Amino acid sequence: MTEKPTEPTPSGQDVVVALHDVGVRRHTGDRAILSDVDWTVRAGEHWALLGANGAGKTTLLRLLGALMHPTSGSVEILGCRLGRVDVRDLRARIGHVTSAQRVPQDAVAHTVVLTGHSGTVQPLWRTYDDEVRQRAHALLAELEIKELADRPYGVCSGGQRARILIARALMAAPSLLLLDEPFNALDLPSREDLVEALQRLAGSRPELATVTVTHHLEELSPAVGHALLLREGRVLAGGPVDEVLTGPRLTECFGRPVTVVRHEGRWAAYSGRLSAG
């Protein structure tokens, strides 16, 4: 049986995201991409967003980032309803991290973080006073990459780039941080460094809400306490991870048998039979 998260209560002061009966249809062909989506994210909550390719994860994240409007239903982000707010102002209050972010490869890490203050690809040097520059250094230190301050972004490793982009997104002091497959193409040590960084971030910023799109449960930090499963554009299940990230639910979500294991706050999942020897 399909279950939805509790219906949103936009009037609540701690509500960061409230979606009610949201639908998105493709203009060409009038195909439904999302249907009947209800979802509430509150301050300090950390959500994982999972589903097979084509399930609607990217579209849902674009709604949360105020990058598009729904075809039907209502989307409220940080108390602002899409369609009734200047999305340029709203986007400035949302942190968005994606490996597809355009970044000058020759810009050093400190400069990349500074651009988060102006929301630009290229630095706007006249807008960065001493306080802003110091804040960029502090964020690099918070992500434990202060030694990269003068290193060109293009020669940094994938894991280092991911943490630089998170520091950049935090320059605007967002209440909502969207992480679009931040672990893409990372090796095991880099993945673990990023998991630890996100865990520390959850502890140091208790009011920050995050939504992480991922394909792998192993990439979730112990701070992730909620999960939303999408299947064919609809919410299959949403709520506390202990109730959502189960073998039966993931089996239904991905359409093949999935076994889920949890150990000391970390998750793992595999499909198919394993044999020794």
Q: How far apart are CA 259 and CA 130, in angstroms?
A: 52
Fold of the CATH domain 43-61+87-271: Rossmann fold (3.40.50)
How is the chain split into domains, by residue range? Answer: 43-61+87-271
Question: How many Cα atoms sit within 13 Å of 246 on the Cβ side?
Answer: 10
Q: How far apart are the first and last CA of the chain?
A: 39
Residue in this structure with the two tokens 């989506």, named with its chain if needed: 37
| CA 209 – CA 202 distance, rounded (Å) | 9
Taking the CA of residue 255 as centre, how many other CA atoms within 13 Å lie in the half-sphere pointing to its CB?
7
For each of the chain's 277 residues, which pLDDT tens digit applies?
444 444 434 445 599 999 999 999 987 767 899 999 999 999 999 999 999 999 999 999 999 999 999 999 999 999 999 999 999 889 989 999 987 888 999 999 999 999 999 989 999 999 999 999 999 999 999 999 999 999 999 999 999 999 999 999 999 999 999 999 999 889 999 999 999 999 999 999 999 999 999 999 999 999 999 999 999 999 999 999 999 999 999 999 999 999 999 998 999 999 875 544 4
Picking from 203, 228, 204, 201, the residue whose alpha carbon sits closest to that of residue 214 is 228
As a whole number of angstroms, the distance between CA 83 and CA 195 comes to 35
